[in-house]
Amino acid sequence: MFSTLLGALPVGPDDPVAAGDEPEAHLEDVAALCATGLELISDGGGPSIVTGDPSAVVTRWQTAANASAVPVKAVLLGPYSTAHRAAKAAKAAKAATASAERLRATTSAERLRATIVALAEAGCPLVEIAEPDATGIATDPAAAAAFTADHRRLVDGSEGIHASLALPAANLEGTPPAVLFDLAYASYAFDLIGGPDNWRLIVQAPADRGIIVGALGLAERADETREVLVWAAHYAASTNGRGLARVGLANAPAAPGSPPPTRAQMLRKLAIVAEASRIAAVEEPGEMAALLDRRAVDARSASGGRFAPARRRGGRAVR
């Protein structure tokens, strides 16, 4: 059981650089993320866009890892999203063709694989491949086939690193499970706020795959109840007998078009994710219950909106 973040940490009010616009790690972001209590962090920036030599990405990860007291993951933009964004830019310039888009995806996958191997050799414990533009795979069989082909070029399990596929693309219901789970990823991250029906995919994930549950919304008035996060972690653990050792908790991505959270708001929300993860990992049920709102673990008092401890008679609890 662990906690992490999905996406970039918003910049501070005095920082004119948009999140993810710089390829270097920011040590102040690393320190801020460590302070939240998360067990696995990134360097706080957007995903690296691999264009050539892996050394810049490796250096970025090493800089963050050397400044962190907890493990640091590297986050790379996946081949499908890389090609999709390049095609949009080319279309705007009236230069896009279908064959050019597929060539870009193939080339991107090859470069990404070389970068993953280089990160593994440098000692990186986990690489996250982010595919924020993958929504189309749920409704377009051709897009799903292209997505699978790209990622089969990318990972085959021999890279010597935990490879995780992050799908912050809201609702992916309708995606054939084989499109995702026939790939050689060790874990998958899903948005359960923008796409609650993604639970239908999670319950079909093989038991040996990790699931990272993006269950805390970033909207200003989103539910921040620790009990909901604990429930989400345990539900994911229950699917196919997965177990808590293969479950992570995270924030959900910001909804498209919604006001992004401030840096302070996101750091506060990430601290809630970290606390909920620690509670979810408690093995003794009574000890866990003592850390939660009693209405969440006592059905009768919850129905009345209050907790009413059971009276005891003859050694038995009664209501």
Average pLDDT, consecutive stretches of 10 residues, N- to C-terminus, the chain (319 residues): 95 54 76 97 94 92 97 96 78 56 68 96 98 92 94 94 91 94 98 95 97 95 93 96 97 86 96 97 88 65 40 44
**pTM, rounded to two decimals:** 0.86
Domain assignment of residue 212, yes or no: yes
pLDDT in the model for residue 256: 78
Q: Give the pLDDT confidence score for residue 260 in this predicted structure.
A: 87
In-domain check, residue 287:
yes
Report the alpha-carbon distance of residue 311 to residue 263 in Å, rounded.
47
pLDDT, residue 212, reads 98
- Tell me whether residue 303 is in a domain: no
> Which domain, by its residues, includes 27?
2-295
Q: What is the pLDDT of residue 313?
A: 45
**pLDDT in the model for residue 254:** 85
Q: What is the pLDDT of residue 169?
A: 72
Residue 309 belongs to some domain of the structure: no
Q: How many CB atoms are closer than 10 A to CB 29? A: 25
- Is residue 261 in a domain? yes
Question: What's 27's domain CATH number?
Answer: 3.20.20.210
> Is 60 a member of any domain?
yes
Q: In whole angstroms, what is the distance from residue 149 CA to residue 144 CA?
A: 9
- Count of domains in the chain? 1
